């Protein structure tokens, strides 16, 4: 069960098209996985649509020399049909990725961006990454954590959004599994790790990590390369 969701403000910005491409990708993938946020987003989109299309509807209902006009009831019915349409395409082979003998199904939004995903490379320890090119500053990656993996304790110079695609990881705040969305900033430090289960995540950050404990602090001059794009 998904327990960690984006804020309503983020969902409103998503519906309005006001997020970066990277955050739109992460949030859209979470929405694919989360019935709760799908419903919330539908309500937000319908509300925005009704607010901003009033002028358009009024124009459509006014007859002209070349147009007979359209009733308000018919306009409302068209909107209702649009919002009630929820058809989804079947899973295709290109929506699968493989790593370390594991096969993962990509949610629809991420699958649509399959061509932007780069090659897998080994980072450190039991961590692998595949960069995703979204055409702007910052770093967006698929991160694979094998069982027993750990990222050194760190905080963030900017924001980091992480979505669990498959598996479980833990930090000082709790446990996160399929569909959980986590948004962090400089106010919080953590050390993500896996136990007996592996974990595949989608993560984007707009500034380098800052390592905060032990010898890992020696990595700070190179932190911009730790999740380099």
Domain count across the chain:
2
**Res. 144 pLDDT band, cuts 50 70 90:** very high
213 and 124, same structural domain?
yes
Cα–Cα distance, 27 to 9 (Å, whole number): 12
Quick: pLDDT tens for 43-64.
998 888 777 666 555 555 555 5
Residue 2 lies in a domain: no
Residue 206 lies in a domain: yes
The pTM for the full model equals 0.77
Both tokens assigned to 54 = 């009033």
Whole-angstrom Cα Rg for the chain: 21
| Residue whose entry in the numeric block shows the structure tokens 């380099």 | 228
Both tokens assigned to 1 = 């069960």
Quick: pLDDT tens for 196-210.
999 999 999 887 766
Residue 89 lies in a domain: no
Question: What CATH number does residue 194 fall under?
Answer: 2.60.120.10
**Res. 124 pLDDT band, cuts 50 70 90:** confident
Residue 90 lies in a domain: no
The interaxial angle of helices 21-33 and 35-52, nearest 10 deg, is 120
Residue 3 lies in a domain: no
218 and 135, same structural domain?
yes
pLDDT computed for residue 218 by the predictor: 43
| Residue whose entry in the numeric block shows the structure tokens 């987003």 | 41
Residue 188 has pLDDT above 90, yes or no: no
138 and 60, same structural domain?
no
189 and 119, same structural domain?
yes
79 and 103, same structural domain?
no
Quick: pLDDT tens for 2-35.
999 999 999 999 999 999 999 999 999 999 999 9
Mark which of 28, 52, 84 sits at the end of a domain. 84
Domain that holds residue 129: 95-226
DSSP letters along 108-173, please? HHHHHTGGGB---EE-STTEEEEEB--SSSSEEEEEEE-TT-BPPPEEESS-EEEEEEEEEEEETT
25 and 121, same structural domain?
no
Residue that wins the pLDDT comparison between 69 and 152: 152
Q: Which of 124, 143, 122 is nearest to 132 (CA)?
A: 143
pLDDT computed for residue 46 by the predictor: 85
Where would I find the beta strands (DSSP E) of the chain?
96-99, 102-105, 121-122, 127-131, 139-145, 154-156, 160-171, 174-177, 181-184, 199-205, 209-211
């Amino acid at each position: 069960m998904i327990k960690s969701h984006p804020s309503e403000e983020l969902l409103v910005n998503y519906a309005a098209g006001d997020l970066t491409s990277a955050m739109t990708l992460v949030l859209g993938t979470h929405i694919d996985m989360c019935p709760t946020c799908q419903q919330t987003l539908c309500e937000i989109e319908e509300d925005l649509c009704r607010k901003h299309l009033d002028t358009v509807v009024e124009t459509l209902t006014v007859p002209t020399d070349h147009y007979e006009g359209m009733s308000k009831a018919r306009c409302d019915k068209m909107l209702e049909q649009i919002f009630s349409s929820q058809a989804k395409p079947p899973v295709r082979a290109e929506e699968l990725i493989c790593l370390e003998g594991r096969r993962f199904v990509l949610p629809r939004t991420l699958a649509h961006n399959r061509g932007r995903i780069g090659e897998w490379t080994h980072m450190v320890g039991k961590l692998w990454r595949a960069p995703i090119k979204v055409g702007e500053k910052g770093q967006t990656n698929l991160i694979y954590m094998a069982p027993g993996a750990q990222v050194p304790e760190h905080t963030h110079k900017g924001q980091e959004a992480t979505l669990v695609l498959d598996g479980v990881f833990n930090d000082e705040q709790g446990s996160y599994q399929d569909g959980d969305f986590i948004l962090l900033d400089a106010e919080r430090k953590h050390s993500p790790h896996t136990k007996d289960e592996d974990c595949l995540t989608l993560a984007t950050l707009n500034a380098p990590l800052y390592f905060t404990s032990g010898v890992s602090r020696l990595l700070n001059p190179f932190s911009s390369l730790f999740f380099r794009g």
